[in-house]
Amino acid sequence: MAEAAQKALADPSIAFPGMLYGPDEGYCPLRETLGLWLTSFYRPEKPVSKERITITGGASQNLGCLLQVFTDPAYTRDVLFAAPAYMLAFRIFEDNGFAGKMKAVPEDDDGMDMCALRKVLEESEGRTPEAERYVQWLSVDRNPVIQALKAILKILPPCDLLRTDIFEPILPEIELVKLAREFDALVVSDDVYDFLQWPSDSNVPTGSTKALWPRIVDIDRFLDGGAERSGADGFGNATSSGSFSKICGPGIRVGWSEGSAKFAYGVSQAGTSCSGGAPSQLTSTYMNILVKEGTLSTHIFEILQPAYAARYKTLMSAIERYLCPLGVKLPQSRRNVVGGYFLWLTLPNSINADSFAERCQSEARVIVAPGSIFEVPGDSSVKFDHCIRLTFSWIDKDLMVEAVKRIGGVLERCLKGEVATMDHKQRGKTDKPF
């Protein structure tokens, strides 16, 4: 990063544009470089052009821009989340007028439950025709690149739920795109973990330099003619949100939004971008150098993937040794490919995850994320009372094993019906925290 910054700042042809207000769509050389990079990794039927990409300040900032441009709280009826959902996204939707409109759609090994999704969409379709007419009147003079959608489908395809075989049919994703088209919905897919993947089998060489499955935005692009098919308006019904936060550093604050050319341009027309220019303009010049010269790819495939794979395998071994004998279950045990930062666990039915997390922190000084924080606010139909999430991304392997061992100790006491005592809490205060 230091070398890239020095190169950018030492070259007036790069530094001067980098220090100015950026164009709405973002730093053009980075858009071009990202197009080549994403084409190489995802291998779509046709290359990803710069016209399909708008530079953002990261996935969260991009989500805010999407909601500003493509939704209207009086017209957009629902926000649907694949549950469990990313808990910090809820506030972004609430800030944009969608409090009380968020709904959960359960997942299984193949992704979102399509039957449940269709049911929610059909129920929404019959509601509030008056509001629809009101917004049609309200929007007469709006910018033609802005189009309000009836529903937003927010999904985070977690790498620890990857399909087991690249050749397995992708029927759920195809069905998702078809439903989005039928009900005038936008699928917002956070593809921020795609580059962090590796085989679940420790005997298989680590890492992959190519994506193992097509993105939803690619399916929408090519299925039955994509956004340019007969009767379509050119915007498309899916977008991919990417970010350098997980593969370079969260302080970089550079990401990208990909969709049809018409959609990508619409994203760039959010008022905050038009006023101040594209976000992270100067940092975009650094990232362009890192990606274009192959430095970032080398970092991902030779450093990040092996490091995360090793931590993942350490955590899995500790879970299998200390937690599984106590009744803890791992979903999708048949996976061949894993990745990302986290593992999702299911506790025995007698254990409440909220109380268990509190006891882990007070008795063992281990922070555990209870499943309840990943539930969609206001929707009690999909609950995670007996689930927890653990991370392996930023902790040494030996400390990870000790932390899981302590979690097992707390779980064993809970299963025996032992009430939390001052002795346990006092003992926890003397332990090193995790």
Q: How far apart are CA 350 and CA 385, in angstroms?
A: 10
Residue 129: its pLDDT value, please? 55
> What is the pLDDT tens value at each position of the chain, 434 positions in all?
999 999 999 999 999 999 999 999 999 999 999 999 999 999 999 999 999 999 999 999 999 999 999 998 888 888 999 999 999 999 999 999 999 999 999 987 777 899 999 999 998 887 655 555 444 434 444 444 445 667 677 776 543 433 333 334 477 889 999 999 999 999 999 999 999 998 887 777 766 789 988 999 999 999 999 999 998 989 999 999 999 999 999 999 999 999 999 999 999 999 988 888 889 999 999 999 999 999 999 999 999 999 999 999 999 999 999 999 999 998 766 677 889 999 999 999 999 999 999 999 999 999 999 999 999 999 999 999 999 999 999 889 999 999 999 999 999 999 999 887 655 555 555 565 55
Residue 177: its pLDDT value, please? 95
Residue 305: its pLDDT value, please? 94
Cis peptide, bond prior to residue 84, ω within 30 of zero? yes
Q: Minimal CA–CA distance to 281: which of 10, 30, 11?
A: 30
The fold of 297-430 is Aspartate Aminotransferase, domain 1 (3.90.1150)
Name the residue ranges covered by the structural domains of the chain: 2-293, 297-430
If you compute the radius of gyration of the chain from its CA atoms, what whole number of angstroms results? Answer: 23
Q: How far apart are CA 263 and CA 350, in angstroms?
A: 48
The DSSP code for 329 is B
Two tokens, residue 410: 């707390």
Two tokens, residue 194: 């795609």
Q: Hey, what CATH class is 2-293 in?
A: alpha beta
Alpha-helix runs per DSSP H in 335-421:
353-364, 397-415
Residue 168: its pLDDT value, please? 45
Q: Minimal CA–CA distance to 158: which of 115, 122, 183, 192?
A: 192
